[in-house]
Chains A and B, each alone.
Chain A
Amino acid sequence: MEFGLSKEQIMLQESVAAFLDRAATLDRVKKFVHDDEPRAADVWDGLCDLGIPGMLIAEEYGGIGLNLLDAALVAEMLGSRVAPVSFVATSVMAPLAIAQAGSDSQKSRWLPVLAEGRVVAGAALGETVSSRENARIQSDGSTLSGRALFLLDFEADLYLVADERRALYLVDANAKGLTRRSLATIDKTRRVGKLVFDRALGELLPGSRDGEACSRMIDAGRIMLAADTLGAAQSMLNKAVEYSKQRVQFGRPVGSFQAVKHMCAEMAAELEPCRAMMWYAAYAFDAIPAESRLTACQTKAHISEVGTFVARTATEVHGGIGFTDELGLHLWFKRIGANRQLLGGPDRCREEAARLQELV
């Protein structure tokens, strides 16, 4: 009986963290943010060298054949460094969707290039969770029309798109009838944008017609966003504790005042169990199908709430300087804030949890 990470998983996290500490320093991230870069090619290339884009792709297609828990551990590290790089759609949702619901020719056409990182995929599934501005995608049998807002991994070459009946399609970024427009959000570490479809060609994933593949990809996406938030929140807590040990007021470190100690203790007490929750949710996705969907909903909801609490409390521990751009702390705050809303906010996920348990 072992509920914990293997040596290999710990090494995976450590190697991603070490790479990001070199290549995605705070200065590098700030540059990405201030210069409004579409893609941080240097960071992406480094992750490709580590095999990250292909981590969930089977070896026969050039990937490493790992599981969702391994991907969640990577997501946690990306969140902890607010890494300006695509992951949730391109390394998780799109490859899993194609593997689960794609035809053999779709698999051999797309999985190898996704594994190498030569093609980046984005995901437009959000409208099947909640639709704002009346956005939706409709299929007429061969083309797609409508709008998808709030893409995951927007700067992409290929898009995984869900229609309003939850069937999944692959759409080339250069397809005729597809317009792409960037959206400015508070989280500038990840590009978000919308797609407008005017009878654009979309290639149906044949196994996705019953909508189950779409639901599975949302489960996976939610777990990745929760893991990203976990990592970002842990960084904020670590920074708050460190800051409080150094900042001196009234003749002593502010971290020696009980009020400040308790703020940090509350953050730690809320956050630490989220680690086990994220492990379980990611593990259950592959190993305990009967619990997977409910656990994914509750994990996204709960870790979002804890993340929001940590984001504001850690900022407060930093006092005035936390409110400025000096330490870049707001980058983590905003990443957590964006993760909270994408693929269903906490209330939405809790309502879904209630429906899954037939409490509604």
Chain B
Amino acid sequence: MDLSYGQHYEDFRNETRQFIAANAHLAPNGLEPDRAKMRAWQELLIQNGYVARAIPKKYGGFGAEPDILKTRIIAEEFARAQVSPGLGGQGIAYLLPALLELGTEEQKQQFVGPTLRGEIIWCEGYSEPNAGSDLASLSTSAVLDRDEWVVNGQKIWTSTAATADWMFCLVRTEPTAPKHQGISFLLFSMKTPGIRVRPLETMTGDSHFNEVFFTEVRVPKHQIVGQRGQGWQVANLVLLHERDDLGDPDATLLRLNALIDLMKSERVDGRRVIDNPVYRDRLMKIQGRVMALRFNDLRLLSARLNGKDASLAAMVVKLQGTELRHELEGLAIDALGELGILYRDSPYLRAGGSWQFMYMLYLGLIIGGGTSQIQKNIISERGLGMPREPKPAT
């Protein structure tokens, strides 16, 4: 048991802090990111190895050896300083790992660098109105017509579709093959004729998600990642990398600290909320759960670093993390009481309504990316070896 990272990494942490201190004034701030400023920041981060660290130089990355601890330290330090860690988005997070592993050389040259630099913004065409939890049953089709795929169908839950330049999209190309073997992974420009985007307003009031309709959309034949019929495997590879993304390890802790501050500053009948033992106990319960997940996260970091198996510990992260955050935000709203039902530009609003927003957003995150019920199926089947439910007789 040794929680220290070692001198080499402590030096790296110090370098990272110095870089942030020296350059933070150049970083875009979260509220209304200026696209040009964001691209310049991204360029600076790549040059210095704070983004795309392990992506080869020839594809526009920094070209260093993959190093989990350095990736971790970078995430921690940028979060601590509340400075933009660079471009996020599905292209960088999900598409690039798939391209780097399964793309052709031409595809890597065409897409990796521009994506990293923010010149191409991607959206993800996966879910459909009739293919949510059962994604593999998707029916958006692509039929080969000489040297073009002709795409017809509809996607839903497509974030940033309205502003994206390109889409990576799962389509059915082998209608007679078994469900998981009939899917292909296509890439195409969002400017291709026949694509219509319709925003979806969610309960938070935002329209971050969209529906996307495809009518006779023509995609050049070579714009496919992997072989035809292999799309499901490509998508799953992407999900494996999703698990490697450790995200912001301190986000929940920062939120808990904000909640403690809120309960100290808010008064009911003239008394601080935190002085009410009922609320204080709820807060301490949340803290205990936050601590358990932080230590679990530490175990996962170490397991990945040292090649140990902690697969069950990894399987429970999404389920436990999203449910905990939703409850934490919910406690804040209870601490606010009637003030917790205000929203948008109302007087007396606290924290710009972020507690209310996050409470709803996290319900969305409990459902999205694999519902809690799907997570429990996965945990019971792959984690505990329990039998799958029998398929209905056809």
Contacts and interface: CB of A to CB of B under 8 A. Distances in A.
Interface of A: 1-6, 69, 241, 244-245, 252-253, 255-258, 260-262, 264-266, 268-270, 272-277, 279-280, 283, 287, 295, 298-299, 301-302, 305, 347, 350-351, 353-354, 359-360
Contact of B387 (A1, A2, A255, A276): A255
A72 to B, nearest CB: 11
Given A261-B377, A298-B284, A3 B1 contact: yes
A265 B380 contact: yes
A265 B376 contact: yes
A3 B305 CA distance: 10
B281 A351 contact: yes
Interface string B351-382: 00000000000000000000001011101110
Interface stretch (B22-30, B107-115, B160-168, B285-293): B285-293
A346 to B, nearest CB: 8
A302 B383 contact: no
A242 to B, nearest CB: 10
Interface in B302-321: 302-303, 305-306, 308, 312-313, 316, 319-320
Contacts of B377: 258, 261-262, 265
3 shortest interchain CB distances as A-B pairs: A302-B288, A261-B380, A273-B296
Contact of A350 (B285, B295, B303, B385): B285
Given A2-B306, A276-B296, A279-B295, A265 B281 contact: no
Contacts of A359: 260, 264, 274, 280, 283
Given A298-B284, A354-B280, A359-B280, A272 B1 contact: no
Contacts of A241: 384-386
Interface of B: 1-6, 9, 69, 260, 264, 274-275, 277, 280-281, 283-285, 287-289, 291-293, 295-296, 298-299, 301-303, 305-306, 308, 312-313, 316, 319-320, 373, 375-377, 379-381, 383-390
A194 to B, nearest CB: 30
B308 A257 contact: no
A274 B384 contact: no
B287 A255 contact: no
A99 B62 CA distance: 54
Instruction: Please report whether the interface of chain A is mostly helix, strand, loop or mixed according to DSSP.
Output: helix
A208 B3 CA distance: 31
Most buried by A among B377, B379, B381: B379
Contacts of B381: 261
A1 B295 contact: no
Contacts of B303: 4
A130 to B, nearest CB: 16
Contact of A264 (B283, B296, B313, B386): B386
B1 A276 contact: no
Most buried by A among B3, B4, B289, B295: B295
B284 A279 contact: no
Given A265-B383, A269-B319, A298-B287, A256 B295 contact: no
A301 B291 CA distance: 12
Given A295-B291, A354-B284, A4 B386 contact: no
B289 to A, nearest CB: 7
Contact of B284 (A257, A268, A283, A350): A350
Contacts of A244: 386
A268 B383 contact: yes
8 contacts: A268-B316, A272-B316, A280-B295, A287-B1, A350-B288, A351-B277, A351-B281, A359-B274
Contacts, number: 158
A3 B380 CA distance: 26
A65 to B, nearest CB: 16
A93 to B, nearest CB: 22
Contact of A4 (B9, B277, B292, B302): B302
A1 B8 CA distance: 12
A2 B302 CA distance: 5
B104 to A, nearest CB: 38
A272 B291 contact: no
Contacts of A266: 376
A301 B287 CA distance: 11
Contact of A6 (B1, B281, B287): B1
Contacts of A252: 387, 390
B261 to A, nearest CB: 11
B380 A302 contact: no
A55 to B, nearest CB: 16
Contacts of A279: 1, 295, 299
Given A3-B1, A264-B380, A256 B386 contact: yes
A35 B389 CA distance: 45
Contacts of A298: 284, 287-288, 291
Most buried by B among A2, A6, A241, A245: A2
B379 A302 contact: no
A262 B380 contact: yes
A353 B283 CA distance: 11
Contacts of B6: 1
Given A256-B387, A265-B379, A351-B280, 13 more contacts: A1-B2, A1-B69, A3-B3, A241-B385, A261-B381, A262-B377, A272-B312, A273-B313, A277-B292, A280-B298, A302-B288, A351-B277, A354-B284
Contacts of B299: 3-4, 275-276, 279
Contacts of A283: 1, 3
Contacts of B320: 269-270, 273
Nearest to B376: A265
A3 B292 contact: no
A257 B389 contact: yes
B73 to A, nearest CB: 11
Nearest to A266: B376
